[in-house]
C-alpha cells in the first residue's frame, strides 16, 4: 500500500508590514516649487529663494540639497526648523550661460514627504557686445580726413 503525503509550504516571504506613520513628524511645504526667471540679462544677479514651512509637530532637518548641475548653486538652512517656522533655500544660476535653462534642485529631509524636487527655469540673454566710442583724437582725425 502506498500512502501519499501532501505537504504545504508557508510562503516565507510575507508582505512587509507598513511602517506606522509618525503623526508628529515634520512636513515640508514650499510656497512655490518652480521659479521662472523669465528673460534675464547676461551676467545678471540670479539669486532666488525658495521659502518653506515646517507644518509638522517635530523639528525639520534638511539633510541634503543638490542641484542637477554645477551651474546652479544651492545654499540652505542648516539648523533644525521648528514646527510652524520657515526656512529658505537660496539658489544661484550661472547667468554667463546664454540660452534657455531648466534645472532641478532635490531637497532631502526628515519630513514625511522627505524628498521634494524644485525647479528653476528661464532664458539668459545674449552676451553684450563692446562698442567703442570715438575719442576726441579719433573724431578729429575722422573729420579732418573727410
17 has pLDDT over 90: no
In the chain, how many domains are there? 1
Among the listed residues 103, 57, 102, 98, the one whose alpha carbon sits nearest the alpha carbon of residue 81: 57
Give 95-127 pLDDT, tens digit per residue: 999 999 999 999 999 999 989 999 999 999 999
Residue 103 structural domain = 28-124
Collapsing DSSP to helix, strand or coil, 20 comes out as coil
Q: How far is CA 16 from the centre of its chain?
A: 33
Q: Is residue 95 part of a domain?
A: yes
d(CA 79, CA 9) in angstroms, rounded, equals 52
Q: Which CATH number characterizes residue 72's domain?
A: 2.60.40.10
Q: Is residue 110 part of a domain?
A: yes
Most confident of 3-7, 9-13, 25-29: 25-29
2 has pLDDT over 70: no
Q: Is residue 21 part of a domain?
A: no
d(CA 61, CA 64) in angstroms, rounded, equals 9
Q: Is residue 3 part of a domain?
A: no
Q: Which residues contact 27 (CB under 8 A, 6 or more apart)?
A: 54, 55, 56, 60, 111, 112, 113
Model's pTM, two decimal places? 0.74
Q: Which residues contact 24 (CB under 8 A, 6 or more apart)?
A: 56, 57, 58
Q: Is residue 6 part of a domain?
A: no
Q: Is residue 88 part of a domain?
A: yes
Task: Give one DSSP letter per residue of 66-128, joined into a string.
Answer: EESSTTEEEEE--SPBPTT-EEEEEEEE-TTS-EEEEEEEEEEESSTT-EEEEEEEEEEPPPP
Q: Is residue 64 part of a domain?
A: yes
d(CA 63, CA 78) in angstroms, rounded, equals 8
Q: Is residue 22 part of a domain?
A: no
Amino acid at each position: 500500500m502506498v500512502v501519499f503525503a501532501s505537504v504545504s509550504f508557508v510562503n516565507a516571504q510575507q508582505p512587509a508590514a507598513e511602517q506606522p506613520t509618525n503623526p508628529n513628524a515634520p512636513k515640508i511645504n514650499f510656497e512655490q516649487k518652480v521659479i521662472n526667471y523669465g528673460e534675464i540679462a547676461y551676467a545678471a544677479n540670479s539669486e532666488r529663494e525658495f521659502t518653506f514651512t515646517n507644518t509638522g509637530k517635530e523639528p525639520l532637518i534638511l539633510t541634503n540639497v543638490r542641484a542637477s548641475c554645477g551651474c546652479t548653486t544651492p545654499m540652505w538652512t542648516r539648523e533644525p526648523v521648528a514646527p510652524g517656522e520657515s526656512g529658505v533655500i537660496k539658489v544661484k544660476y550661472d547667468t554667463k550661460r546664454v540660452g534657455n535653462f531648466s534645472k532641478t534642485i532635490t531637497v532631502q529631509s526628515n519630513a514625511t514627504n522627505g524628498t521634494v524636487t524644485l525647479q528653476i527655469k528661464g532664458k539668459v540673454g545674449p552676451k553684450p557686445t563692446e562698442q567703442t566710442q570715438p575719442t576726441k583724437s579719433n573724431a578729429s582725425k575722422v573729420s579732418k580726413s573727410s
